[in-house]
Amino acid sequence: MYIDTHGHVNFNAFKDDGKEVLDRALKLNTWVIMPGSQLTTSARAVELAQEYAEGVYAAVGLHPIHLDKREVDVQEVQSEEVRERPWMLFETRGEEFLYEEYKRLAQSKKVVAIGEVGLDYYHQPSSQGKRKEYRERQKNVLNQQIDLALELDLPLILHCRVAHQDMIALLRERQDKSGGKLRGVMHSYTGTSEQAQELAELGFSFGFNGLIFKDVPALPPPSEVISSIPSDRIVLETDSPYLVPPKAGVERNEPAFVRFVAEEIARAKGISVEEIASVTTANAKALFSLSP
């Protein structure tokens, strides 16, 4: 059995066949957690999860890129890449974090985490003053969502892109203040082995997906980072519809492909895929309090 701890079957890419995709995963004994990225996709995740008695769960949260205002540009729309994968395009509207609205959604028993939330400095403005403001706004919204996770005693699903030092500092401060009550996963982990050790000491786990099949020059080699992290701190994910593993042979990723990620992690660690499947499933069940 596998658990895809991060599959956006609640996104538009699955608008027409979300339930078929989830049924396909369940048939392969693969459970799915669907994180929201804004209010609409969080609500959709809850709605979909509520249609299943077991094996399909939701998380609610506001992703840092949705604090931004960005419009889709026409040239991008006409590119071949976008024609093949139209869900890569989305507009962001500069959304506010509405604490009570997210709290209301999180009342559902199917909501197992606050996420995905975090820091993303990839698209930050180039002027220093604006950059500072941009980062402060993201930290402020992340702190509000940490407040919500603490109030509801839920784990966090954290997104972090080129912001690991700030993330560690913020989590350390919050962990100290809360007396160690924060828990969660660093999804799509791209930090170094040293940063992973600090985050593990702060109580966090690590999610890996199809990104581990790529050697991205700006990032530490995935196999090195994976082998430095103990198996009992690793969970599997797909980040569907994005980051499709090469072996899947299609353009759109889906939770059923999480087994390819498990194979690659097993290879990096030099252990069997059965062992990775069983330890990551136990980790995810414990972290997100999934029953049975």
Chain residues that interact with Zn ion, rule: CB under 5 A:
239
Cβ 35 to Zn ion shortest distance, Å: 6
- Listed in order, strand segments (DSSP E) in 54-96 are 56-60, 69-70, 92-93
Closest CB to Zn ion among 239 and 254? 239
Backbone torsion region of residue 81, taken as left when φ is above 0, otherwise alpha when ψ lies between -120 and 50, otherwise beta: alpha
Q: Smallest distance, Å, CB 6 to Zn ion?
A: 6
The runs of H, that is alpha helices, within the chain are: 18-27, 39-49, 74-78, 80-84, 99-105, 128-152, 164-177, 193-201, 222-228, 258-269, 273-287
Which residue type does 112 have?
V
| Smallest separation, CB 270 to Zn ion (Å) | 29
> Could you give the 3-state DSSP secondary structure of residue 51?
coil
Smallest distance from the beta carbon of 275 to Zn ion, in angstroms? 26
Tokens, residue 184:
């969660």
Give least dist CB 208 to Zn ion, A: 13
Q: Which is nearer to Zn ion, 4 or 239 (CB)?
A: 239
Other CB atoms within 10 A of residue 48 CB: 21
Task: Quote the least distance from Cβ 179 to Zn ion, whole Å.
Answer: 29
Min dist. Cβ of residue 211 to Zn ion (A): 11
Comparison of 240 and 283: residue with beta carbon closer to Zn ion: 240
Considering only CA atoms, which of 221, 213, 190, 218 is closest in space to residue 264?
213
Pick 68 or 239: Cβ nearer Zn ion: 239
- Residue 59 near residue 114 (C-beta atoms within 8 A): yes
Q: How far is the CB of 209 from Zn ion (least distance, A)?
A: 9
Question: Quick one: tokens of 70?
Answer: 């960005």
Based on CB atoms, which residue is closest to Zn ion, 239 or 264? 239
Q: Which residues contact 285 (CB under 8 A, 6 or more apart)?
A: 3, 291
d(CA 226, CA 129): 37
Cα 244–Cα 284–Cα 281 angle in degrees, nearest 5: 80
Which of 164, 269 has the CB closer to Zn ion?
Answer: 164
